[in-house]
Amino acid sequence: MTPFRSPNDTPLVRVRDLSVRFAGTPPVHAVNSVSFDLAPGEVLGILGESGSGKSVTLKTLLRLLPERKTRITGQVEVDGQDVLALQGRALADHRGGVASMIFQDPSLALDPVYTIGQQIAETVIRHDGLSKSDAMARALEMLEIVRIPSAKRRLANYPHEMSGGMRQRAMIALALACRPKLLLADEPTTALDATVQIQILLLLRDLQKELGMGVIFVTHDIGVAVEVSDRLAVMYAGSFVETGSVKDVIRDARHPYSKGLLAANLVGAAPGTRLDAVPGAPPPLNALPEGCSFAPRCAHAETACSMSPLPIWNGGNGRWARCVQASCLGALADAESTS
Amino acid sequence: MLSFILRRVFYTVPIMLGVSLVCFALVHISPGDPLVSILPPDASVELQEQMMAIYGFDRSYPEQFLRWLGLALQGDLGNSIATGRPVASEVFNAVGNTLILAVTATIIGFTLGGLFGFVAGYFRDSWIDKLATAISVIGVSVPHYWLGMVMVIIFSVELRWLPATGAGPGGSSQWVWDWEHMQYLILPAVTMSVIPMGIVARTVRALVADILQQEFVSGLRAKGLLDRGVLAHVIKNAAPTALAVMGLQLGYLLGGSILIETVFSWPGTGFLLGQAIFQRDLPLLQGTILVLAMFFVVLNLLVDVAQTSLDPRLQRG
């Protein structure tokens, strides 16, 4: 299968054929042979609805899934290290040192009985071996970097004493405190107010440019994904169905699911008209259909859709879609835009 | 924080007043004539009235209450009807003995309970969890007077390792921390520790299991903390609630278990209460209950303050 190639030859993240199963009867196929590369300093947006496996993919990169109930196969390399083989201290060094994570809801992801300063300093002490006062100085510096006003005072605040946006800024400061090469953002703006969302988004984009780390940004919001990403991957039922540069995917989506997501956007829709929502619901992950998982909901489905493995349409330059009709769907779009 | 402590201390004043009123009322509502136990059955009416006047039982209830309260504030709880000795010294003597027993039992119970609970919650659904849960359920449900008797039968009667009853050669007022005395402490303390052990183990297990499920634990692992680092966070999060439960348990134990102190003839408050009830010794009963209730109020105050200093979210209210 053609993986999603980044232009750079030594990728920061290299994922091949990653599959994640959760124990159960029948087992849940949360992620199904996902492959992609991420170049240093590149931003990849993973777009998908709830339960499509995007968060699970992200958590696998930090090995945060419960070990006893999870079976991970495939290859995951971050910065040349085989993440799936890491154990004990080496794994802990990887987490927060090489790759760190911003969680969806900062009010749940920060420890309620430790101050923000303590929580950031703790990470710095753990990874960089700084003294307590040096670590606090670094924490202060981080709060200033994420533009928290009166940072010095905020250092002694507990999470419940801050607003949602401030908490997410603190979470970002925490994640970036040890200068990771890879930042994993798990819907970092979903739990925030709309006005705060855009601030956090802009902050993340600026910080990424400033610090130059690679970012994998998971979201279900196309607008958000377009705003921050260099490349997009559309995920459905645990698989990547289409990838490419943001421009290509938005202008010329080849997979019917990506097209459906774009059509269901509120922007530009006339008031009072029905949105072009994708009919039906995703298949249960413990009983995926043979071949294309989207076929049962797809207007263009045909008998070829149930064959396995599915043919991959390759658009060159890391652009591909996992759909039988990708090439003619593109032609269809061309015809529509010229008419 | 200081204003919180001051306010909280201030709140205890009305609580203590209410408690003293209830103590007084309860004792007077309960049936039985206090003088029956000391007067001969054929005592004349004049003698009865004379005795009533001496103990103040001939006055109205509000007057009796205020007089009792006024004296109590000065540390005078009256004299025992049965023995004639001052109630205050009797009670404080007993409180001292109960403290020795309760604190020992508490240390054993909290240490074991906290340990079992923590391990069970941390390794939930493992065999360790099942074992710890079984032990704690047994601890909560076994009748402790029965357990006490079984212990006496095994360790005193059959094995003859430890003495069965009493508080040692010094009697009820001369406690020394040496083996001579401490061997008397072991059986009642172990028996008494079983209840708080079970309750603390169950509470801590539920707390730890709940905390480990929360997302911030994922967050702690995601930032690269090692297991012992995560453990410190779990403990600090569990501490406020665990502490509240422990405080209450210590309060119950300070009340002295009547049953355990009776089984082991331990001269503590429980034993004293039992005596006071059976002899209808009103001043002794009132005084004992009052002192115990005050202990409880103060203990709750301490727990509240400790809890607030551990959990920053509580400081706002």
**CATH number of residue A204's parent domain:** 3.40.50.300
Measured between beta carbons, the chain B residues lying within 8 angstroms of A105 are 215
Q: Does A259 map to a domain?
A: yes
Strand-pair partners of A186:
A218
Number of folded domains that form chain A: 1
Q: What is the pLDDT of residue A308?
A: 75
Residue B258, pLDDT above cutoff 60: yes
Q: Are B73 and B294 in contact (CB under 8 A)?
A: no
- Reading the block at residue B53, the tokens are 């006047």
DSSP 8-state code for residue A4: B
The neighbouring-strand residues paired with A99 are A95, A182
Q: Which residues of B touch A190 (CB under 8 A)?
A: none
Helix/strand/coil for A31: strand
List the structure tokens of B307. 């809890």
DSSP secondary structure letter of residue A220: S
Q: How many other C-beta atoms can be found within 10 angstroms of the C-beta atom of residue B138?
A: 13
Mean pLDDT of A68-96: 91
A298-317 exposure pattern, b = at least 16 Cβ within 10 A, e = fewer: beebeeebeeeebeebebee
Q: How many residues does chain B have?
A: 317
Q: Do A126 and B214 touch (CB under 8 A)?
A: no
CA dist list (Å): B187 to B151, B155, B166, B174: 7, 8, 11, 19
Q: Which residue of A has its CA nearest to B310?
A: A113
Q: How far is B312 from chain A (nearest CA, A)?
A: 6
> DSSP label at A168?
H
> Residue B47 corresponds to which tokens in the numbers above?
């003698």
Q: B223, B309, B315: which to substitute to probe chain A, counting the most A Cβ within 10 Å?
A: B223
Q: What is the mean pLDDT of chain B?
A: 84
Average pLDDT over residues B66-71: 85
Q: Is residue A23 less than 8 Å (CB to CB) from chain B?
A: no
For residue A177, give how far its alpha carbon lies from the nearest alpha carbon of chain B (Å).
Answer: 10
Of A100, A108, A158, the CB nearest to B216: A108
Supply the DSSP symbol for A9: S
pLDDT at A102: 93
Residues in Cβ contact with B231 at an 8 Å cutoff, skipping those fewer than 6 apart: none
Q: Which residue of A has its CA nearest to B308?
A: A113
Residue B289 corresponds to which tokens in the numbers above? 């209950």
Residue A62: predicted pLDDT: 92
Q: What is the pLDDT of residues B81-114, one digit of tens each?
A: 778 888 888 888 888 888 888 888 989 999 999 9
| Chain A partners within 8 Å of B221 (Cβ) | 62, 64, 92, 95
The answer to whether A78 touches A58, Cβ cutoff 8 Å, is no
Question: What whole-number distance in Å separates Cα of residue A236 and Cα of residue A239?
Answer: 5
DSSP states of A205-218: HHHHHHH--EEEEE
CB-CB contact of A51 with A235 (8 Å): no
Could you give the percent of chain A with pLDDT greater than 70?
A: 92
* A95 close contact with B: CB closer than 8 A: yes
Kindly state whether residue A1 falls inside one of the protein's structural domains.
no
Where exactly are the structural domains of chain B?
90-273
Contact A123 B237 (CB under 8 A): no
How do residues A21-67 score in pLDDT, each as one tens digit? Answer: 998 888 899 999 899 999 999 999 999 888 888 999 999 999 999 88
Question: With contact defined as beta carbons under 8 Å apart, do B308 and B314 qualify?
Answer: yes
Q: What is the CA radius of gyration of chain B?
A: 24
Count CA atoms within 13 Å of residue A32 on its CB side.
23
Residue B303 neighbours by CB distance under 10 Å: 19
Nearest residue in chain A measured CA to CA from B236: A113
Is residue A175 over pLDDT 90? Answer: yes
Chain B residues within an 8 Å CB radius of A112: 216, 237, 312-313
Pairwise CA distance, residues B180 & B178, whole Å? 5
Nearest to B192, CA basis, from B151, B135, B253, B149 = B253
**What are φ and ψ of residue A45, in 5° steps?**
-100, 125
Report the percent of chain A where pLDDT is more than 90. 45
Q: Domain for residue A153, yes or no?
A: no
Lowest mean pLDDT among A17-26, A120-129, A169-178, B273-282: B273-282
Cβ–Cβ contact A101 with B under 8 A: yes
Could you tell me the pLDDT band of residue A338, with boundaries at 50, 70 and 90?
A: very low
The answer to whether the peptide bond before residue A309 is cis (omega within 30 degrees of 0) is yes
Quick one: three-class SS letters along chain B? Answer: CHHHHHHHHHHHHHHHHHHHHHHHHHHHHCCCCHHHHCCCCCCCHHHHHHHHHHHCCCCCHHHHHHHHHHHHHCCCCCECCCCCCEHHHHHHHHHHHHHHHHHHHHHHHHHHHHHHHHHHHHCCCCHHHHHHHHHHHHHHHCCHHHHHHHHHHHHHHHCCCCCCCCCCCCCCCCCCCCHHHHHHHHHHHHHHHHHHHHHHHHHHHHHHHHHHHCHHHHHHHHCCCCHHHHHHHHHHHHHHHHHHHHHHHHHHHHCCCHHHHHHCCCCCHHHHHHHHHHCCCHHHHHHHHHHHHHHHHHHHHHHHHHHHHHCHHHHHC
Q: Does domain B90-273 have CATH number 1.10.1040.50?
A: no
Average pLDDT, chain A: 86
Q: What angle do CA A67, A71, A76 make, to 5 degrees?
A: 95
- A158 in helix, strand or coil? coil
User: Between β-strands A28-38 and A13-22, what pairing exists: parallel, antiparallel or unpaired?
Assistant: antiparallel
Would the CB atoms of A160 and B236 count as touching at under 8 Å?
no
Residue of B nearest to A87 (CA): B226
Please indicate if any CB of chain B lies within 8 Å of the CB of A158: yes
Among candidate residues A298, A319, A182, the one with its CA nearest the CA of residue A237: A298
Q: Which is it for the CA torsion B223, B226, B229, B235, positive or negative?
A: positive
CA distance B250 to A182: 51
Tell whether A89 is within 8 A of chain B (Cβ).
yes
- Evaluate whether residue A55 is within a structural domain: yes
User: Which of A47, A176, A174, A187 shows the shortest CA–CA distance to A105?
Assistant: A187
Q: Tell which A residues from 61 to 80 touch B, by Cβ distance under 8 Å.
A: 62, 64
DSSP state of A69: G
What was the pLDDT predicted at B85?
Answer: 85
Instruction: Among A62, A92, A108, select the one facing B214 at the smallest CB separation.
Output: A108
Instruction: For residue A152, give the H/E element and its range.
Output: helix A151-154
Q: How far is A110 from chain B (nearest CA, A)?
A: 5
Task: Pick the closest to residue B282 from B273, B291, B270 (CA basis).
Answer: B273
Contact A100 B222 (CB under 8 A): yes
Amino acid at residue number B154: I
Query: pLDDT at position A158, please?
Result: 92
d(CA B15, CA B5): 16
Q: Does the pLDDT at position B73 exceed 50?
A: yes
In-domain check, residue A332? yes
CB contact under 8 A, B229 and A114: no
Cα A29 to Cα A284: distance, rounded to the nearest angstrom: 9
**pLDDT per position as a tens digit, A87-103:** 889 999 999 999 999 99
Query: Do residues A200 and A165 lie in contact, with contact meaning Cβ atoms separated by under 8 Å?
Result: yes
Chain B positions in Cβ-Cβ contact with residue A158 (cut-off 8 Å): 312-313
Yes or no: say if A20 and A30 are a contact pair by the CB < 8 Å rule: yes
- Tell if the CB–CB gap between A160 and B222 is shorter than 8 Å: no
CB contact B222 to A (< 8 Å):
yes
Rounded to an integer, what is the distance from CA B159 to the centroid of its chain? 30
**Dist CA B217 CA A114 (whole Å):** 13
Which residues of B fall within a CB distance of 8 Å from A103? Answer: 215, 218-219, 222
Please check whether residue A186 is in contact with residue A197, taking contact to mean a CB–CB distance below 8 angstroms. Answer: no
- Minimal Cα–Cα distance from B306 to chain A, Å? 14
B312: which chain A residues are within 8 Å (Cβ-Cβ)? 112-113, 115, 158, 160-161
The domain of A44 spans 13-113+158-269+278-338
Asked, for residue A7, whether it belongs to a domain, the answer is no
Out of A83-97, A256-270, B124-138, B174-188, give the one with best mean pLDDT. A83-97
Cβ contacts of B311 on chain A, cutoff 8 Å: 113
Q: Which residue has the tokens 């997501």?
A: A261
Q: Kindly report the pTM of this predicted structure.
A: 0.79
The answer to whether the CB of B177 falls within 8 A of the CB of B185 is no
Is any Cβ of chain A less than 8 angstroms from the Cβ of B311?
yes
H/E segment holding residue A169: helix A164-176
